[in-house]
Amino acid sequence: MQSNPLGHKVDLAERAYRIRRNALKMGEVQGQGYIGQALDIADVLAVSYFHAMRYRPEDPAWEERDRFLLSNGHYAIALYAALIEAGIIPEEELETYGSDGSRLPMSGMASYTPGMEMSGGSLGLGLTIAVGMCLGLRRKSSAARVYTLFSDGELDEGSVWEAIMSAGHWKLDNLIGIVDVNNQQADGPSTQVLAFEPLVDKLEAFGWFVQRVDGNDLDAVVAAFDAARNHAAQKPRMIVCDTRMGCGVPFLEAREKNHFIRVDAHEWQLALEALEAGRTQ
Amino acid sequence: MTRTAANSASVAAKPRLTTSAMIASIASEGQRTKPAPFGHALIALARSRPDIVGMTADLGKYTDLHVFAREFPDRYYQMGMAEQLLMGAAAGMAHEGFTPFATTYAVFASRRAYDFIHQTIAEENLDVKIACALPGLTSGYGPSHQAAEDLALFRAMPNLTVIDPCDAHEIEQVVPAIAAHRGPVYMRLLRGQVPLVLDEYGYRFELGKAKVLRDGAEVLVISSGIMTMRALEVAQALEADKVGVAVLHVPTIKPLDAETILQEASRSGRMVVVAENHTVIGGLGEAVAGLLLRSGVTPKFRHIGLPDEFLAAGALPTLHDRYGISTEVMSTRIKGWL
Ligand SMILES: Cc1ncc(C[n+]2csc(CCOP(=O)(O)OP(=O)(O)O)c2C)c(N)n1
Ligand SMILES: [Mg+2]
């Protein structure tokens, strides 16, 4: 988005740092939140909001904006953190996270939050909406793209594969899917709950242009987003991101992996300090 | 360092009472509870019923089926987060002579998998028992996890038996009872640390039977699920005001125990209040109202239930107050109606 004299890498690393910091502060407000997930997806959100997407912070409903659908609504804490950094939500509101009457409920809902483009919580819906948005944008001859973030657990839902097949059928080159493969879902590691590999082969067979990257390597994520946007073939684009839960806070990353990562009351501050210690200067 | 320390002090001073978390406890402070009554009851039953299998859609841990999975790993089927598949596969298992207990959240069974239950299970009257956590308004997470309409949807499905148990004591008895019943069952599930209330009333669950838990001369509350727990608290609270409140617990929403309901509602002079943890559309309230009208029994009738709107995200106690299903708000409203 904005040009930065230090070059995009430094800028994006700092953005990702601040997204993680915002998320940790919100987690601290309630003493809970999907913080493992927020930390794993922060780099992808930094690239989405500060490298790839076109939008106007002061006008979240700007007609020409690129859309961002959060299909995995429980990642709301992560998206709020990015929307705050993007200037779409005022930073002070972070203090209200998850509280009664807040615009930032724990599960992402379009009717509550500026910049939240769908009501999630029930998984496996995002890509179906994306198909319709992409068809609608094409119908309006709009240049806007639809970015859709979803999770590896969502790969279990039939509706996701209906949408994947449909997007291939309609050759939706204005759709960029991003799947967070953190290899975790509610009952355990995603690969054990329901085998979904080889994911790239499957998606390619459904007519998508597919890349698989380390979702916590900013350079790799930037390159993948660039390739997805510039790809010539008329196909929907998928970026499969392998991520590490808790990334950026070593002691959380080392902790036993869980859908709800355990964070004790005193550890939120320690996590903020650990994050700060790893900040790229 | 100093910045974060100051930060920590200011945060510590702030109240953290409210939260729109997905999983909230429905047990009140200091209430007696029992852990995972569904899972433990299923284990006890499965020892003598080799046909029983457990199936879930990535919610074993959150429906207490994980304790069954630990005990009988080879009788546990993790189907992935695929609720439609879960129901179709449970139907297939039942075809082959097994009795699946299929678990997910009430919202996903009712809203995502409805057609699969309707066509693959209910139409063939198959022996599938569907047990679903987070019934009605028992999550602060917002509409995605608030099953305000599950009873309406499942009541409307032919062949299906629908159960809304009140507490751990009842759940323990519901499990063997629905396994003994031939045909599909939808059961609302309370999981985790589940309140223990009905043991003090010498209560026994019988499929299809409503039970009077206490008598009272002025008001008859007809309730199911956690609203029976609330109704008993209301009855106690109103005792102080010399208002006699009877409580008729109706755990089997379908088939409805018409005989007991008509008998109790016919007793002259009592206002009938139906209380349900469900939208006012299509649940116990309308079932009872229809029954009374059809039978020519027309007492003063009031209805406590969730409004016909998308409910808010927020802390459960706040939401129960706002939508009128907390003990306090119920007590006030019932007094006002007298
Ligand atoms: C349709 C649907 N089924 C079940 C759930 C309950 N649920 C919430 S999160 C979750 C795990 C989903 O996998 P993933 O998003 O990969 O989990 P994470 O990486 O956050 O651990 C489940 C099953 C849901 N929200 N929606
Ligand atoms: Mg995951």
Does B33-195 carry CATH code 3.20.20.140? no
Compute the distance from residue A150 Cα to the ligand 2 centre, in Å: 9
Nearest CA of chain A to the CA of B38: how many Å?
18
Q: Biggest alpha carbon distance in chain B?
A: 74
Q: Do residues B230 and B323 lie in contact, with contact meaning Cβ atoms separated by under 8 Å?
A: no
Token pair 């698989």 in the structure block, residue: A212
Task: Please report residues of A whose CB lies closer than 8 A to that of B318.
Answer: 100
Contact at CB, B144 and A269, closer than 8 angstroms: no
Task: Please report residues of B whose CB lies closer than 8 A to that of A113.
Answer: none
User: Does ligand 1 lie within 6 Å of residue B141's CB atom?
Assistant: no
Contact at CB, A29 and B66, closer than 8 angstroms: no
**pTM surpassing 0.90?**
yes
Q: For B194-247, how does the pLDDT look when each residue is reduced to its tens digit (9 = 90+)?
A: 999 999 999 999 999 999 999 999 999 999 999 999 999 999 999 999 999 999
Q: Do residues A112 and A104 lie in contact, with contact meaning Cβ atoms separated by under 8 Å?
A: yes
Instruction: For residue B15, give every residue at least 6 positions away whose Cβ sits within 8 Å of its Cβ, in sequence order, or none.
Output: none
In this model, does residue B65 exceed pLDDT 60?
Answer: yes
- State which amino acid sits at residue B45: L
| Mean pLDDT, chain A, integer | 96
Ligand nearest to the CA of A154: 1
The token pair at A195 is 């085998």
Task: Please report residues of A whose CB lies closer than 8 A to that of B82.
Answer: 156-158, 194
Mean pLDDT, range A119-130, rounded to an integer:
98
Taking the Cβ of residue B46 and every Cβ of chain A, the question of whether any pair is shorter than 8 Å is answered with no
Pairing state of beta strands B99-105 and B76-78?
A: unpaired
pLDDT band of residue A7 (cuts 50, 70, 90) is low
Measure CB to CB from residue B141 to each of A107, A186, A273 and give the nearest one. A107
pLDDT band of residue B8 (cuts 50, 70, 90) is very low
Residue A10 Ramachandran class (φ > 0 left, ψ -120 to 50 alpha, else beta)? alpha
Nearest CA of chain B to the CA of A271: how many Å?
11
Ligand nearest to the CA of A34: 1
pLDDT for A9: 61
Contact at CB, B81 and A273, closer than 8 angstroms: no
HSE-CB for A31 with a 13 A CA cutoff? 11
What distance in Å separates the CA atoms of residue B62 and residue B82, rounded to the nearest whole number? 15
| ipTM passes above 0.90 | yes
What distance in Å separates the CA atoms of residue A240 and residue A94, rounded to the nearest whole number? 29
Mean pLDDT, range B321-330, rounded to an integer:
98
In this model, does residue B98 exceed pLDDT 60?
Answer: yes
pLDDT for B268: 86
The token pair at A179 is 């799947």
In this model, does residue A3 exceed pLDDT 90?
Answer: no
Domain assignment of residue A167, given as a range: 5-279
Domain CATH for A196: 3.40.50.970
Instruction: For residue B162, give every residue at least 6 positions away whose Cβ sits within 8 Å of its Cβ, in sequence order, or none.
Output: B151, B154, B155, B185, B186, B187, B252, B253, B254
CA nearest A71: which of A132, A19, A122, A136? Answer: A122
- Ligand 1 atom at minimal distance to the Cα of residue A75: 20
User: Does ligand 1 lie within 6 Å of residue A259's CB atom?
Assistant: yes
Lowest mean pLDDT among A106-110, A140-144, B2-6, B168-172: B2-6
What distance in Å separates the CA atoms of residue A121 and residue A110, rounded to the nearest whole number? 11
In this model, does residue A2 exceed pLDDT 60?
Answer: no
Find the helix or strand (DSSP H, E) in which B336 lies: helix B327-337
Token pair 């755990």 in the structure block, residue: B251
What distance in Å separates the CA atoms of residue A246 and residue A265, rounded to the nearest whole number? 16
Above pLDDT 70, what percent of chain B? 95
HSE-CB for B243 with a 13 A CA cutoff? 22
Q: Biggest alpha carbon distance in chain A?
A: 53
User: Does ligand 1 lie within 6 Å of residue A184's CB atom?
Assistant: yes
What distance in Å separates the CA atoms of residue A184 and residue B53, rounded to the nearest whole number? 25
Residue B176 Ramachandran class (φ > 0 left, ψ -120 to 50 alpha, else beta)? alpha
pLDDT band of residue B9 (cuts 50, 70, 90) is very low
Among A151, A156, A260, say which to mutate for ligand 1: greatest number of ligand atoms within 8 Å of CB. A151
In this model, does residue A155 exceed pLDDT 90?
Answer: yes
Q: Do residues B279 and B149 lie in contact, with contact meaning Cβ atoms separated by under 8 Å?
A: yes
pLDDT for A264: 95
Taking the Cβ of residue A194 and every Cβ of chain B, the question of whether any pair is shorter than 8 Å is answered with yes
Q: For A55-104, how does the pLDDT look when each residue is reduced to its tens digit (9 = 90+)?
A: 999 999 999 999 999 999 999 999 999 999 999 999 999 999 999 999 99
Q: What are phi and psi of A6, to 5 degrees?
A: -85, -5
pLDDT for B16: 52
> Considering its fold, how many domains does chain A have in total?
1
What distance in Å separates the CA atoms of residue A16 and residue B166, rounded to the nearest whole number? 47
Measure CB to CB from residue A187 to each of B1, B14, B60 and give the nearest one. B60
In this model, does residue A146 exceed pLDDT 90?
Answer: yes
Nearest CA of chain A to the CA of B157: how many Å?
23
The closest residue, in CA terms, to atom 4 on ligand 1 is B81
Looking at the domain that runs over B3-25+206-337, which CATH code has it been given? 3.40.50.920
What distance in Å separates the CA atoms of residue A147 and residue A127, rounded to the nearest whole number? 9
Q: For B144-188, how does the pLDDT look when each residue is reduced to its tens digit (9 = 90+)?
A: 999 999 999 999 999 999 999 999 999 999 999 999 999 999 999
Q: Do residues B127 and A92 lie in contact, with contact meaning Cβ atoms separated by under 8 Å?
A: no
CA dihedral (A159, B308, B28, B185) positive or negative: negative
All structural domains of chain B with their residue ranges: 3-25+206-337, 33-195
CA dihedral (A231, A233, A239, A240) positive or negative: negative
pLDDT for A109: 98
Task: Please report residues of B whose CB lies closer than 8 A to that of A179.
Answer: none
